[in-house]
Structure 1
Amino acid sequence: MKLNCVAIDDEPLALELLSKFIEQTSFLNLIGKFDNAIEALGFINQNDVQLAFMDIQMPDLSGMELARVLDGKKNSDKTRIIFATAYHQFAIEGYKVEALDYLLKPYSYEDFLNAATKAFTYFERQSQTKTEAAPAESAPDYIFLKVEYQLVKVMLQDIAYVEAYKDYVKVHLLSKPNPLLSLTSLKNMEELLPADKFMRVHRSYIVALDHIDSVAKNVIHVGQNSITVSDNYKEAFLDFMSRWMN
């Protein structure tokens, strides 16, 4: 899946940098760049634009005013916003118009990629929700993870367990000897993984329920690995175990 994007900034150098970052990101498709928010609005109204990267301080029509117009569409297909601005004081106002993220100038490509990945995950979830709502189709059996500077497709059935590791998570797979290291949090992984197949059992671990080999007291065995069920997650796990044994 590629996201159709536009870049909007009245500063030529900033617009070129933003356009360059979009073009070098494999899951983004730059279909327009504008130094004027009014022209951008006309283009967005006539084209399928999923994501707009834009400055806030612009003449005639500001980025915040444009965001309010787009937010007023009030439908699931509306264009989503990522702000790129030098003014941090607009951050709270940006979230009021449901901006997906906020890039503070000067930003690096890594900063840009983090925001873009968040947008990709958002649209992926939207797509999954629509798929789940369709009676003839089943939910996707995979997720995308950011690994270094690319998105990697991971089959859910291949995940044995997920482990927190500093600012990253280690995703342990059945098919690979070494885990995938992804720049995200365990909380984000918990939200991304389906609750009927995965369970958080510790502040540092999520396990795939299908791959639990045995349980002894408060310790889960997944292959050769032992994972302790902490007190905060014991009640939910015991409830799962009671249903498993019936």
Structure 2
Amino acid sequence: MKINCIAIEDEPLALKKIKEFIEQVDFLNLLEGFDNAIDAVGFLKRNSVDLIFLDIRMKKLSGIQFLESLQIKPKVIITSAYDEYALKGYELDVADYLLKPFTFERFIKSVDKVYNQLNTSQNDNSNEYIFVKTEYRIEKILIKDILYIQGMKDYLQIHITDRKIMTLQTFKNVLEILPRADFQRVHNSYIVSISKIENIERNRIRIGSDLIPISDSYKVKFYGILKERKILI
């Protein structure tokens, strides 16, 4: 499994060091390095990443402000010379906190932790069904029957083979319980079951009579996953 990552660090020597460390780890794929968080925000609107190495004290937009602004949060490893931000970082659910100067051994321990988390989440969730809360009851849904999931303001609409179910849930909660081997987010408003895709044309997925858009922010990761699993040739 390859982990696509970016590094955000305003000190040139520190950014160079992180890049060199990343290049020595075969499961890390550095997409880009940034000397400020604002450019990284623009990049993330067009690309999907698995991991961000993030400095805290930066001009214009701090690492904490950057984290708080993200709607889609990949794994984050904070790299900082200041330990007073550690608590705030963990409140924002960062994967690890590397205190500068850190060694390559400490770096490896940190990225290994992220690798195991991502690998476990991809291989977990082998249940054949889930239970979903609706307005008046709890519905049992067979995972093999789910076609796709659509976001509708505060609700999710789960499209299954014979009906639609509305539930007050978040995409994050749903993705945590669905098997990641088959379900992928392709748009801010859509998760699809890969096995139910009939065709893809002009970045639109056809499932039954429905067309589901693939947004620019998810396109790279989605097609990359299809290639990685050797189901796109």
TM-score, normalization by structure 1: 0.51
Q: Which residue of 1 is the match for residue 84 of structure 2?
A: 89
User: Aligned partners of 2:117 and 2:79: how far apart in 1?
Assistant: 18
Matches within 5 A, 1:208-223: none
The answer on 1:109 being equivalent to 2:104 is yes
Deviations along 1:178-224, one digit per CA (max 9) or x if unpaired, are xxxxxxxxxxxxxxxxxxxxxxxxxxxxxxxxxxxxxxxxxxxxxxx
2:12 is equivalent to residue 17 of structure 1: no
Q: Could you give the per-residue CA deviations for residues 108-138 of structure 1, whole angstroms, max 9, x where no partner exists?
A: 00110111011111111221236656659xx
Separation of aligned partners in 2, 1:113 and 1:132:
32
Residues of 2 paired with 1:13 and 1:96: CA distance? 28
Q: What amino acid maps onto 1:89 in structure 2?
A: E
Helix, strand or coil for the counterpart of 1:111?
A: helix
Specify the alignment match of 1:4 in structure 2: 4
Q: CA deviation at 1:50?
A: 0.8
Specify the alignment match of 1:42 in structure 2. 42
Question: Secondary structure at the residue paired with 2:29?
Answer: strand
Partner of 2:67: 67
Going from structure 1 to structure 2, the CA distance change for 1:111 and 1:47 (only over 3 Å counts) comes to: same
Q: Distance in 1 between matches of 2:18 and 2:30?
A: 10
Structure 2 CA distance for aligned equivalents of residues 18 and 132 of structure 1: 39
- State the 1:68 CA deviation: 1.2
2: CA distance, partners of 1:66 / 1:103: 18
Question: CA deviation digits over 1:75-111, x for unaligned, max 9?
Answer: xxx3221000000011000001110000000000011
- Tell me how far apart the structure 2 counterparts of residues 3 and 131 of structure 1 sit (CA, whole Å): 23
Partner Cα distance (1:135, 1:91) in 2: 42
Corresponding residue of 1:197: none
Question: Separation in 2 of the partners of 1:128 and 1:80?
Answer: 17
The correspondence of residues 120-139 of structure 1 with structure 2, limited to 5 A, is 120-129=115-124, 135=144
Measured at CA, do residues 127 and 106 of structure 1 come closer, stay the same or move farther in structure 2, by a change above 3 Å? Answer: same
Q: How far apart in 2 are the matches of 1:6 and 1:24?
A: 15
In structure 2, what is the Cα distance between the partners aligned to 1:131 and 1:33?
36
In the aligned structure 1, how far is the partner of 2:8 from the partner of 2:45? 15
User: RMSD of the alignment, in Å?
Assistant: 1.7
Residue type at the aligned position of 1:27: F
After superposition, residues 123-162 of structure 1 pair within 5 angstroms as 123-129=118-124, 135=144
SS of 1:43's partner is helix
C-alpha deviations, 1:119-160, integer Å up to 9, x for none? Answer: 111111221236656659xxxxxxxxxxxxxxxxxxxxxxxx
SS at match of 1:99: coil
For residue 57 of structure 1, what is the aligned residue in structure 2? 57
Instruction: State percent identity of aligned pairs.
Output: 42
Are residues 124 and 56 of structure 1, via their aligned partners in 2, closer, same or farther at CA, if it must alter by over 3 Å?
same
Q: How does 1:158-197 map to 2 (within 5 A)?
A: none
Letter in 2 for 1:102: Y
Measure the CA separation in 2 of the matches of 1:84 and 1:15.
Answer: 10
Partner Cα distance (2:5, 2:105) in 1: 18
Return the letter of the residue paired with 2:37. Answer: A
Aligned mates of 2:114, 2:69 — CA distance in 1: 20
